[in-house]
């Protein structure tokens, strides 16, 4: 028996791990029986998507002098998150909906703190204000082998800034995602090197069990 209650699910991982694919598959299954929304970061709302475009376009500027400083870049991500949380995530949770999000705060830790060396305290202080009590109930970390990830990225027609980092960068970021999830009950690590029906089924069954147990 499933009671109507808010539930926040996040998919995290490096580029090419299949998180967007799996989050969509989960959404299509859950919406048959539950009030569910699918969203993403950066983005998710009209205003946040405008900020997303600024962030992604900035990476392709050839002259480094014209690029955003790493703290400006981080503030744009956090501004997009503030819009997203206030306009979409929080209202949906208040209505007792299930929210599935492609990326959230762990990506900021992995890419901005670990990748760009932005001070963790800088982000944490802002998160304390914009997130308040909003925390994921369940986070799926999708672990992928490099060969599978690169093969998927090569097939993408529209690439963004995160699709063209070095292999070493992806490897280090994945290790950081795994470090974040260590010894946390609401984190599930799954191998997504093969985006099979079995993986979709496993994710769905885990979510149903969590919803049932509260």
Q: Would you say residue 29 has pLDDT above 90?
A: yes
Give me the mean pLDDT over the 114-129 stretch.
Answer: 95
At residue 15, the pLDDT reads 87
The predicted-structure confidence for 184-194, as pLDDT tens digits, reads as follows 999 999 999 88
- What pLDDT was estimated at residue 130? 96
pTM of the model: 0.90
At residue 59, the pLDDT reads: 64
Q: How confident is the model at residue 171 (pLDDT cuts 50, 70, 90)?
A: confident
Tell me what percent of the residues of the chain surpass a pLDDT of 90. 66
Q: What is the pLDDT of residue 194?
A: 83
Domains of the chain listed by start with CATH number:
7-213 (3.40.50.300)
pLDDT, average across residues 177-203: 92
Provide, rounded to the nearest whole percent, the portion of the chain with pLDDT above 70.
86
Give pLDDT, residue 26. 98
Which pLDDT value is given to residue 173? 86
Report the pLDDT averaged over residues 3-20.
Answer: 91
| pLDDT tens figures, 59-81 | 656 666 678 899 999 999 999 99
User: Of the candidates 105, 92, 110, which has an alpha carbon nearest to the alpha carbon of residue 8?
Assistant: 92
**What secondary structure, in 3-state letters, does the chain show?**
CCCCCCEEEEEECCCCCCHHHHHHHHHHHHCCCCCEEEEECCCCCHHHHHHHHHHHHHCCCCCHHHCCCHHHHHHHHHHHHHHHHHHHHHHHHHCCCEEEEECCHHHHHHHHHHHCCCCHHHHHHHHHHHCCCCCCCEEEEEECCHHHHHHHHHHCCCCCHHHCCCHHHHHHHHHHHHHHHCCCCCEEEEECCCCCHHHHHHHHHHHHHHHHHC
* 16 pLDDT higher than 90: no
């Amino acid at each position: 028996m499933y009671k109507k209650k808010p539930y926040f699910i996040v998919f995290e991982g490096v580029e090419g791990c299949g998180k967007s694919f799996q989050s969509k598959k989960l959404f299509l299954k859950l919406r048959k029986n539950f009030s569910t929304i699918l969203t993403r970061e950066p983005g998710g709302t009209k205003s946040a998507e405008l900020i997303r475009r600024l962030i992604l376009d900035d990476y392709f500027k050839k002259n480094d002098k014209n690029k955003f400083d790493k703290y400006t870049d981080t503030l744009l991500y956090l501004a997009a998150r503030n819009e997203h949380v206030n306009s979409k995530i929080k209202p949906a949770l208040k209505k007792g909906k299930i929210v599935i999000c492609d990326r959230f705060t762990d990506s900021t830790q992995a890419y901005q703190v670990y990748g760009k060396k932005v001070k963790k305290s800088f982000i944490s202080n802002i998160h304390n204000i914009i997130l308040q009590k909003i925390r994921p109930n369940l986070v799926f970390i999708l672990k992928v082998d490099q060969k599978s990830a690169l093969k998927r990225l090569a097939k993408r027609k529209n690439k963004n800034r995160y699709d063209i980092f070095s292999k070493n960068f992806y490897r280090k970021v994945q290790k950081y995602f795994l470090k974040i999830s260590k010894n946390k009950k609401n984190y599930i690590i799954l191998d997504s090197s093969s985006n099979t029906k079995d993986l979709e089924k496993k994710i769905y069954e885990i979510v149903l069990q969590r919803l049932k147990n509260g």
